[in-house]
């Protein structure tokens, strides 16, 4: 499990190094996840990659273990809210309105993207709904 966690963190580090070296406007962990995905896809095709942390579902077990403790990642955010409680109390209504509007915009954009993608896929398949 330690080796699998190390591999996940190495992929994230590699992503950070690449993004900062190239100056790409994408988060380093996203690049790291893409590298990890390529490694996992390669593991299914090449026996050489089935050793070590990639073998025997080690990365999957490490990921499940991290997801089981995902709530711990919210502790720093909660501490930040408590630390700036005076700002939250003075701007609470504005924060609530912005959060509500951003949630609504996110839902609308997601629904629109789904509808557009569905229609494009129907056209691509040669059918229409």
pLDDT tens digits, residue range 25-54? Answer: 999 999 999 999 999 999 888 888 778 778
Sole residue written with tokens 């494009």: 120
Sign of the torsion angle spanned by Cα atoms 37, 43, 48, 52: positive
* Number of domains observed in the structure of the chain: 2
- Residues 99, 56 share a domain: no
My answer on whether 39 and 80 are in the same domain is no
- Structure tokens, 60: 């999957």
What does the block give as tokens for 46? 């090449």
Residues 64 and 87 in one domain: no
Q: List b or e across 6-20, with b for residues whose CB sees 16 or more CB atoms inside 10 angstroms.
A: ebbeebbeebeebbe
Instruction: Give the per-residue pLDDT at 46.
Output: 85
pTM more than 0.85: no
DSSP letter assigned to residue 91: S
Shared domain check, 79 and 63: no
**Residue numbers of the domain that contains 86:** 74-129
Give yes or no: residues 51 and 25 share one domain.
yes
Tens-digit pLDDT profile for the chain (129 aa)?
888 889 999 999 999 999 999 999 999 999 999 999 999 999 888 888 778 778 788 888 888 988 898 888 888 888 888 898 998 899 989 999 999 999 999 999 999 999 999 999 988 887 655
């Amino acid at each position: 499990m330690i080796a699998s966690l190390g591999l996940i963190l190495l992929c994230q580090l590699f992503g950070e190094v690449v993004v900062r070296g190239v100056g790409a406007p994408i988060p380093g962990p996203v690049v790291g996840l893409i590298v990890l995905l390529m490694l996992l896809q390669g593991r299914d095709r090449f026996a050489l990659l089935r050793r070590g942390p990639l073998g025997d579902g080690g990365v999957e077990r490490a990921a499940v273990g991290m997801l089981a403790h995902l709530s711990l990642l919210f502790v720093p955010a909660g501490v930040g809210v408590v630390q700036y409680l005076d700002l939250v109390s003075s701007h609470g209504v504005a924060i609530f309105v912005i959060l509500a509007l951003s949630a609504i915009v996110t839902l609308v954009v997601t629904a629109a993207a789904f509808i557009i993608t569905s229609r494009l896929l129907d056209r691509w398949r040669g059918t229409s709904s």
